[in-house]
Structure 1
Amino acid sequence: MRRVDVETLDALAGSRPADSLTVWAWRAGSLVVPEPLLVKDWSFDDDAGDSVKVGQRISLTVADPDGSLGAWRFDDPLGVGGTKLQVIYNVGGSGAINYGWFRVTANNPTEFRESRVIDEYGYVEPDGSLPKHKRRVFVQTGIVQLTAVDLTGDVDRDRLQAPESPKAGATVVSEFKRFTSRYFPTVVDPGVADTGVSRQLVYDKERLEACQDLLSRVSARYRMGGDGECHIYPQRSDSVLRIEPNAGLVSVSRGQSIDGLYNRWVVEGKNVATGDPVFGVADIESGPLKYGGPHGQVPFFYTSEMITTVAQATTYAQELRDQFLGSLAVELSVETIPRPELQAGDRVEVGCPVPSGHVVYLPGEVTSIRRRGDTLPRETSMTVSCAYTDVIAALDRTEWAKWITPEMPELTWNMMPAHWGSLPAITWSDV
């Protein structure tokens, strides 16, 4: 979550005048345009996840009153040869939030030309139709479409030129800083536990991919902050915002797909001595995806010559099944009032009204954000990934709440349906 002062945070939750952007263009530590760019409309995209490398991208439409901002040379003011954009989000009627620094990756001008005749004493147009003392001048205006990515894009382009290994005493964090210190400072957020790195590790060509792999060893990820710093943050953390119906929440929807819902894992290997195949199988044995139940039979196959015994095949099949069950999630499509402080990777709670009349609060991770604006701020669109087990527990808790009345001061588990027995203890404050 980007840093925001209390007054601005309060303003974000209420009615306010239009928000706006202040965007400065820099190269090599100096301004290349003396005034902020005149932004006509914008869109921001932000993604998080174990496979996401460059997380934040922006698109801007910039007014070009005199036609000077459309780049010809790579080192023109808004050219792709090193220009960086400092983006500040101004919250209408309140303060500002440092949104981030971005490297320009594309410049697409659209130019409009018109001409007019002016007086110029002593001028004669060669072979022209204009009378003496008249000159035709051309005026050029336009707009420029800019695309930019956060500063991790520079790291991604700077591939390693030869294989490398860690030095003695290296840790995950020290290696991350070694790979990226040329481009930005690094901040380690609370909850990240550093650990040592083996000197036998070999990095190939992908610098940013190596950073990602290193952080996965300590269950952490990286993302850029509002001041051009990179944060190493834990994958699991506390919620930073509760999104309430009839308050910040505009809409919430969800969907399901049958694709990828396996219920049997078949792992095949080869016996080294005999050359015969070996097999291991693991099933989902209960619940709505039970193998052979209403969901049917949906096997997933995996083959590896590294697996040489039935025991190894069975163990790995069980690991694949457990990984799948742990990854099951409900994806919520959430629209909120503009929340520029939120980042992909933040954890939030989304209040979802259910048919019983209650509101279920579902914890989840923001995996993507899309923002857009022009003369008025638009809604913030998010995808929030909620663990399937958390969703089911929250729904069951809500169902239980319907049973509770002031005339029932004491409740015991044997009064409740059997499948609720695995739920954590619930107090009156929970309902």
Structure 2
Amino acid sequence: MFPVSQRWLEALSLARYEPVVQWSPDRGNTWHDLTLHDGSITAASTSQVRWTARGLIISGADIGRRALSPYGARIRVFMRMHYDRHTIETVPLGVYRVEEVSQAGLRPGRAQLDGLSLEAQVQDERFHQPRTLAIGTGQYWATTLIKEVLPEVGMSWRLGDTNIPQLVEERDRWGLIDGRSRDPSIAKSLGGRVFCDSRGSFVAAPVPTLEDPAVWELAAGPGGALVEPQQTLSRDGVYNQIVASGASENGQPPIGPSVASDDDPVSPTYYKGPFGAVPLFYTSKLITSLQQCQTTALGLLAPRLGLKQKVSVSSLLNYALEPDDVISVTMPDETVENHIIDSITFPLTGGTMSMQTRSTTSPAGGRITIEGDNADYGEGTFDE
């Protein structure tokens, strides 16, 4: 959760919010105010682009190739809470490159904007020719590859670190940094993720687990924030084992594998229980030690454990919440569950916020077991 005062949390039920939207023609060197009439923000840890602005209806700027347009303009969004005439508190809600601007069907002087956070720019700027990375730390190379595209952005490193081996990448810059589930990325080899935060800076952080402390408490029923929490349970994307190994290089045997398993007998996804064993295989040339195998296996297992469900929130809007936050939910039957927020959508001009969360009746996030026989796991390629 974005750091806010206790007063913010206590004032949610009576909050008077004011959205603030600004645009920049010069990569954030100068900012100009816009008037917001409608729109929403979605933040999702399950997406390669964490922050998305959809349907922002704005006025107060010229629209065109040399003004507010998809050809280099950025927008940033904030939400202010007014405590009284003289006291406000503000949280950021993302920095975006403008993806599309349309004036069709709107009042004169208004336009509709869509935007994506700055991971999209790094993903677009692929290598023109194969790129050789010398031996260096993960932090050095991840930061270097990002700042070659966005030299003005900050980078916060919250992971452990180790040297990565020399390697050659054909095209995919973002696949080296974080990437999709199949990519042998620096972040995955260190058990973490790289993403843009709500301020527009990049962050390298560990994958959260349900054992992390809850940052907010919700209650269902009369007087609570939840209105009939709707559970849509699914096996899709739920794995209870990760088999991680290093790639074979120069005729040497591969490192690992290490197997992270949900081995808590009371967990609904216990790998020896009715759910069954559902392994996910991952091989990376960036894994060079057994410790990295273990870290990678745990990092890949954590976001795939847990029962997926949707939770609709009414009456309270908390714009400080972020993806990967752990929240405590008191259900109508008075049971208390921890949920990890996978995605959250905020309306900017009133309404309800909705979250997609993961929860499980077990606090276990999976524990490492070591298997020595690679043949037990096929060839160790990624198989989903």
TM-score normalised per structure 1: 0.61
Question: Aligned pair 1:219/2:229, yes or no?
Answer: no
Structure-1 separation of matches of 2:302 and 2:40: 35
Q: CA deviation at 1:365?
A: 1.7
**Number of residues of Structure 1 aligned to a counterpart in Structure 2:** 303
- Report the counterpart of residue 238 of structure 1 in structure 2: 213
- Report the counterpart of residue 338 of structure 2 in structure 1: 363
Q: CA deviation at 1:258?
A: 6.8
Q: CA deviation at 1:261?
A: 8.9
Question: Aligned pair 1:38/2:35, yes or no?
Answer: yes
Structure 1 residues 364, 174: closer, same or farther in 2, change over 3 A? farther
What do residues 78-109 of structure 1 show as CA deviations (whole Å, max 9, x unaligned)? 11111111211112434111222111110011
Of the two, which has the highest radius of gyration?
Answer: 1
Q: CA deviation at 1:338?
A: 0.9
- Does the residue aligned with 1:37 lie in a helix, a strand or coil? strand
Work out which of the residue numbers 95, 112, 132 in structure 2 matches 1:165. 132
Structure 1 residues 98, 38: closer, same or farther in 2, change over 3 A? same
Structure 1 residues 92, 108: closer, same or farther in 2, change over 3 A? same
Work out which of the residue numbers 96, 121, 125 in structure 2 matches 1:102. 96
Q: CA deviation at 1:326?
A: 9.6
- Kindly indicate whether structure 1 or structure 2 has the higher relative contact order, using CA contacts under 8 Å at least 6 residues apart: 2
Work out which of the residue numbers 71, 80, 90 in structure 1 matches 2:70. 80
Q: CA deviation at 1:186?
A: 0.5
Question: Aligned pair 1:15/2:9, yes or no?
Answer: no
Matches within 5 A, 1:4-403: 4-12=4-12, 14-17=13-16, 19-28=17-26, 29-31=28-30, 33=32, 36-49=33-46, 52-64=47-59, 69-71=62-64, 73=65, 75-76=66-67, 78-93=68-83, 94-110=88-104, 141-168=108-135, 170-181=136-147, 182-183=149-150, 184-189=153-158, 192-199=159-166, 201-212=167-178, 213-236=185-208, 237-245=212-220, 246-257=223-234, 327-336=304-313, 337-354=316-333, 359-374=334-349, 377-387=350-360, 389-390=362-363
Structure-2 separation of matches of 1:260 and 1:7: 38
Structure 1 residues 161, 141: closer, same or farther in 2, change over 3 A? same
What do residues 341-371 of structure 1 show as CA deviations (whole Å, max 9, x unaligned)? 11112222222232xxxx2222232111111
One-letter code aligned to 1:338 = L
Structure-1 separation of matches of 2:59 and 2:48: 32
Contact residue 186 and residue 230 of structure 1 kept, 8 A? yes
Q: CA deviation at 1:56?
A: 0.6
Q: CA deviation at 1:141?
A: 1.7
Contact residue 64 and residue 143 of structure 1 kept, 8 A? yes
Matches within 5 A, 1:391-430: none
- Report the counterpart of residue 371 of structure 2 in structure 1: none
Q: CA deviation at 1:196?
A: 1.8
Q: CA deviation at 1:38?
A: 1.0
Contact residue 331 and residue 383 of structure 1 kept, 8 A? yes
- Does the residue aligned with 1:389 lie in a helix, a strand or coil? coil
Structure-2 separation of matches of 1:226 and 1:325: 23
One-letter code aligned to 2:342 = T
> What is the identity percentage for the equivalent residue pairs of Structure 1 and Structure 2?
19
Structure 2 portions without partners, runs of 5+: 179-184, 241-262, 282-296, 365-384
Cα RMSD of the aligned pairs, angstroms, is: 3.7
Q: CA deviation at 1:43?
A: 0.7
Structure 1 residues 340, 251: closer, same or farther in 2, change over 3 A? farther
Structure 1 portions without partners, runs of 5+: 113-139, 264-283, 304-319, 392-431
One-letter code aligned to 1:383 = Q
One-letter code aligned to 1:223 = F
Structure-2 separation of matches of 1:344 and 1:325: 14
What do residues 276-322 of structure 1 show as CA deviations (whole Å, max 9, x unaligned)? xxxxxxxx9x998999x999xx998999xxxxxxxxxxxxxxxx9xx
Structure-1 separation of matches of 2:274 and 2:325: 36
Q: CA deviation at 1:64?
A: 3.6
Structure-2 separation of matches of 1:326 and 1:62: 34
Contact residue 238 and residue 305 of structure 2 kept, 8 A? no
- Does the residue aligned with 2:54 lie in a helix, a strand or coil? strand
Contact residue 130 and residue 168 of structure 2 kept, 8 A? yes
One-letter code aligned to 1:186 = M
Contact residue 24 and residue 37 of structure 1 kept, 8 A? yes
